Structure 1
Amino acid sequence: MSLAVSVEGLDVPTDVRSRLTDDDVAARLARKDATLWGPEAEDEAAIRLGWLDLPSTSRSLVDQLAELREQLLSEGLDRIVLCGMGGSSLAPEVICRTAGVPLVVLDTTDPGQVAAAMTDLERTVVVVASKSGGTVETESQRRTFVAAFAEAGLDEQQIGGRFVVVTDPESPLAETAAAMGARAVFLADPTVGGRYSALSAFGLVPSALAGADVGALLDEAGELAEHLAQGDNPAFELGVVLGAAVLQGRDKLVLADAEGESAIEGFGDWAEQLVAESTGKEGRGILPVVVESPTAPGATGPDTLLAVVGTGTPAGSPSLAVDGPLGAQFLGWEYATAVAGRVLGINPFDQPNVTESKENTQAILASGLPDEQPAATIGAVEVRAGGGLLDGVDLSAHDGVSLAIDALLAAIPPGGYLAVMAYLDRLADASAADLRAALAARTECAVTFGWGPRFLHSTGQYHKGGPQAGAFLQITGGIGEDLAVPDQPFTFGVLQAAQAGGDRKALADRGRPLLHLHLTDRAAGIGQLLAALD
């Protein structure tokens, strides 16, 4: 079999396994039984189980994409840029990183990062991917590329030939693609939710055009699919373990790539969305914590389960190793997440809280950015907080930033977590990611890190709908040169600030501890934060 799961230091209660076995959950899931998650989830589940068929139904894409890639290469178009968010970008990024082929993933509203993608236009094809067809980040990026191609001297027909679109049937993006004369339009299966779409057109189109062997991915998944009706299949076992761990108080799933010879790169970033958005609701769920290695700070703890993905053995107690190629990993984790949802008694296919920050963003764009004065400016860092978080903290002290962070760490509730949310350029400001390990070294609580607005389509659901046990560090940055969004009344910088403000409001409305640090100089500010944590 193409997937193997080994567990160390965690005993699954007999009643958990027996209930699933007695209810024939493995076979019922394999045949797409929508009643598995209760009557309230049945309507949603009935239209969200198409991912189980993707190893076979996506097969027809392989030859189409190979032909399209050859056509593009014959025209000198060998640079693929993917404009997409969440489920539309995370799987292709992992696929291409693992395959070692170049793919520019644009899942941001940071004006610097967007501007940096507008290079080498003479050899660029843009894949625009959005299930709903109305994602504000993706539509803003599309408009910007259209304008950039026009400025480079391409006419309307030539511009259309530089776009490949992936969306659901009858979406606004499908209509836009037809109007602009896109070179190719791939209509995805509407019964596949975004975070379960790795083996659909959303995962395969940009990956294949970039040069990845997507046929091999489907072969790997297909080998596992043949066994999913069996009660002892490894994906079922993984789901049982994930659910049972939560019932035993281990609701933080730490995700790490296997060290050394692992053939998978960055798998945790994809699994993070799948697990967080599927289980983080109704005040409970599994919090994914992506760490730098199995031995990184925060990889183990009293409420964690460490999962090492790739090759090898469990890395401690309690932990599990999930061995297998990428295609099998995709399908196996999707199946396991659905099983874990059954164990936890939640619907793994809805995301009831994702739209809240989006609606807050739209309100801010309509009314204008609020004038929020900092409580203090320390070097390159402006400090803001609400809810009395910094009451009694002497921000004028030479280590005022460190004291503010200490106050936030002290506000993490027992069994809670700290989420670092960086609305920055994840390429130019990449060192900001080092804050996760630095903060994890200063607390026994789990520490996550997410790039904004990317995480809003991922752990953002868990932040609002999961256990209200989080404390939040939001980091924003000054903008050297803003970038207009063509034919829109806002710039990328304003959109990014509105998204950060909308998320702050969603968290503040829940009374969660929130520290907002704005970096007037990004490089200097990140260095200052890391020094404060040293």
Structure 2
Amino acid sequence: MNDAGNETGQEFGDNGAPQQILALPLELRDAMRDALADAEEVDLIERLWNKDASLWKSEPPQQKIINNALGWLTVARQMLAGAEELKTFADTVRVSQQFRHVMVCGMGGSSLCPEVLRQTFGRQKDFPELLVLDSTDPDTINNFAKQIDVRHCLFIVASKSGTTTEPIVFHKFWYDRLAQTGANAGDSFIAVTDPGTQMVKAAQADHFRKIFLNQPDIGGRYSALSYFGMAPAAIMGLNVSELLRRAVAASELCGAEAPIDENPGAVLGATMAECALGGRDKLTIITDEKLASLGLWIEQLIAESTGKEGKGIIPIAGEPLAASPSYGDDRLFVSISVQGAADNPQLKALEVAGHPVVYRVLNDVYDLGAEFFIWEMATAFAGWRLGINPFDQPNVQESKDATKALLEKYKSDGKLPAEQASATDGQLTVYASGPSAGGSVEEVLRAHCAKIKPGDYVALLAYLEETPENSAALQEIRMSVREATQAATTMGYGPRFLHSTGQLHKGGPDSGVFIQITAPDKVDFPIPGELYTFSVLKDAQALGDFQSLLAHGRRAIRVDLGQDVVAGLESLKRMLVDALK
């Protein structure tokens, strides 16, 4: 037992799996053990493996959703059996020497696992370099267009439903660009989707090189170990069999035969849930630099699975680690590292200060296969303990519907509806409603910051190009907010986060204070077959998201940075620092 009265619990990992070390205050340790005992009493793990939907909900419509969402439990074993087919296809792509890049065009669960693999493993020798496009921002698309030669890029268009707006327009855009070169465009396209979707029909009509049909009983955010994650992994040259073997081994540790207090997914899920129920609902993910992108994937899994019915665990990813005075008493820290970071002195200091810390220690980066499964199991367990359905996303459709209505308005009027600005200073323009509205930009920001209360989180929703400069400036704003308020902070690029944390923002607890950040686009592109451009689509997504937040009574403002984004972010940071004094 350490100085803080925290007790280190079981250390899983003697069997070659990732190690899990718990350092929990005594009352949380006891609550976690009670949760495991309650789960054992209802045979939770056995019923979960038997795909018993009644664990989460009793209503038939909810159970129907759950019954069609539990394929993640066994998909790793099924994919492992067919891994040779994936390797053969990837070798065919490699041997052809036709492709220098492979670009995943998708959103949310269709793009985040490939993004984790891209950032973690990097380019593999003799294989095409993986890129991931999950933004409608025209400046971002322009940079991709400059980076690739479309004649030497293999496009993976990925959508479970086959009706997701972004991959549909990405398909149209890149296919048209390739067709203009006179090439056989379809030979450079692959689809990953469920059977019978509109995307299957579109892929057949355009003679795609390959269509990977995913098993349909897997939700998007639980699809990492299916074709959505493993097809890009194979094509970029990873050892897919090894990723899947690690996942299968993890699933066996989480099986019904194992004692529940030795089940790493159940223990992690019980810890997450009991912390949230006790007010520590900010799950703060601390990773090695090499594993930093894993936070994006966990963020979607946790936020979209638990953020509903006014409840939720709020995942905090990408927030730099600080000393204890920077944090309130609403945090659970989870450290994920490759070997040896469980002795991080900053985390040890947080333990001593009484914060709960979970250490997950991977043997190497191929243990990501195990991580994907264990976090899915933990999320399913936490959903049960919180009394919610972790397999639906009831509020995600709202922003999509709002965007669709705005695009219809644009088609009929030739412009999006005008918004009434609350204040402008010639550079920054702010839009607010209620008590935040009126006065100068500084006054609106001050009124908004005054709404931040203990236990809240502040979310930066950036509909901007993702660049190192923009990311650094947004991180500085996050740190300024946290240091002034102790509030947890999140940051997401739009529209990516609509398919990730957007569900939590609308359906979770009313503890979010939102700052949407926009700017005019420098370039724009038409979308073949549509009456609107990428810029109009992105603006409609931002406006639809903002309207949806206000409709839920959330504390939200929008700040437009003007033409100079870097200068605008600097001004915003300066004004927020002043407003928080």
Q: TM-score range by the shorter chain?
A: over 0.9
Q: Is it true that 1:187 corresponds to 2:213 in the alignment? A: yes
Q: Say whether the 8 Å CA contact 1:83–1:138 is kept in structure 2.
A: yes
Q: Say whether the 8 Å CA contact 1:284–1:467 is kept in structure 2.
A: yes
Q: Aligned residue for 2:391?
A: 349
Q: Is it true that 1:323 corresponds to 2:361 in the alignment? A: yes
CA distance in 2, matches of 1:295, 1:62: 42
CA distance in 2, matches of 1:297, 1:484: 50
Task: After superposing the two structures, state which structure 1 stretch, 519-528 or 454-463, moved more.
Answer: 519-528
Q: Say whether the 8 Å CA contact 1:255–1:290 is kept in structure 2.
A: yes
Q: CA deviation at 1:60?
A: 4.1
CA distance in 1, matches of 2:220, 2:173: 24
| AA matched with 1:257 | T
Q: Is it true that 1:364 corresponds to 2:406 in the alignment? A: yes
Normalising by structure 1, we get a TM-score of: 0.93
| AA matched with 1:177 | A
CA distance in 1, matches of 2:247, 2:321: 26
Q: Is it true that 1:35 corresponds to 2:54 in the alignment? A: yes
Would you say how many aligned residue pairs link Structure 1 and Structure 2? 521
Q: Is it true that 1:21 corresponds to 2:27 in the alignment? A: no
Q: Aligned residue for 1:236?
A: 266
| AA matched with 1:323 | V
Q: Say whether the 8 Å CA contact 2:172–2:527 is kept in structure 1.
A: yes
Distance 1:293 1:414, change over 3 A: closer
Q: Structure 2: 5+ residue runs without aligned partners? A: 1-14, 124-128, 411-415
CA distance in 2, matches of 1:275, 1:423: 22
| AA matched with 1:215 | S
Q: 2:449 aligns with which of 409, 413, 419?
A: 409
Q: Say whether the 8 Å CA contact 1:37–1:342 is kept in structure 2.
A: yes
Q: CA deviation at 1:490?
A: 0.6
After superposition, the CA RMSD in angstroms is 1.9
Aligned with 1:474: secondary structure? strand
Q: Is it true that 1:426 corresponds to 2:441 in the alignment? A: no
Q: Aligned residue for 2:182?
A: 153
Q: 1:479 aligns with which of 521, 525, 535?
A: 521
Q: Aligned residue for 2:571?
A: 528
Q: CA deviation at 1:473?
A: 0.2
CA distance in 2, matches of 1:414, 1:75: 57
Q: 1:201 aligns with which of 210, 227, 231?
A: 227
Q: Any idea what the Cα deviations from partners look like across 1:136-190, whole Å, max 9, x if unmatched? A: 1111111000111022232xxx100000110000000011111100001000010
CA distance in 1, matches of 2:521, 2:538: 10
Normalising by structure 2, we get a TM-score of: 0.86
Task: After superposing the two structures, state which structure 1 stretch, 283-292 or 193-202, moved more.
Answer: 283-292
Q: Say whether the 8 Å CA contact 1:298–1:440 is kept in structure 2.
A: no
CA distance in 2, matches of 1:205, 1:133: 17
Distance 1:409 1:286, change over 3 A: same
Task: After superposing the two structures, state which structure 1 stretch, 328-337 or 438-447, moved more.
Answer: 438-447
CA distance in 2, matches of 1:39, 1:54: 26
Q: 1:451 aligns with which of 493, 511, 520?
A: 493
Aligned with 1:144: secondary structure? helix
Alignment of 1:77-96 (within 5 A): 77-96=99-118
Q: Say whether the 8 Å CA contact 2:36–2:266 is kept in structure 1.
A: no
| AA matched with 1:227 | L
Q: 1:8 aligns with which of 23, 42, 49?
A: 23
Q: Is it true that 1:462 corresponds to 2:504 in the alignment? A: yes
Q: Any idea what the Cα deviations from partners look like across 1:391-428, whole Å, max 9, x if unmatched? A: 4x543xxxx3xx54332221124422211100011137
Aligned with 2:253: secondary structure? coil
Alignment of 1:123-138 (within 5 A): 123-138=152-167
Distance 1:294 1:213, change over 3 A: farther
Alignment of 1:153-172 (within 5 A): 153-154=182-183, 158-172=184-198
Q: Any idea what the Cα deviations from partners look like across 1:105-152, whole Å, max 9, x if unmatched? A: 110110111122223223101000000001111111110001110222
Q: CA deviation at 1:351?
A: 0.5
Aligned with 2:342: secondary structure? coil
Q: CA deviation at 1:310?
A: 2.1
Q: Aligned residue for 1:63?
A: 84
Q: Is it true that 1:139 corresponds to 2:186 in the alignment? A: no
Distance 1:252 1:292, change over 3 A: closer
Q: CA deviation at 1:438?
A: 3.0
Q: 2:308 aligns with which of 265, 273, 281?
A: 281
Alignment of 1:504-515 (within 5 A): 504-515=546-557
CA distance in 2, matches of 1:451, 1:141: 18
Q: CA deviation at 1:34?
A: 2.2
CA distance in 1, matches of 2:326, 2:440: 33
Q: Structure 1: 5+ residue runs without aligned partners? A: none
CA distance in 1, matches of 2:447, 2:233: 44
Q: CA deviation at 1:432?
A: 4.4
CA distance in 1, matches of 2:157, 2:396: 21
CA distance in 2, matches of 1:213, 1:299: 41
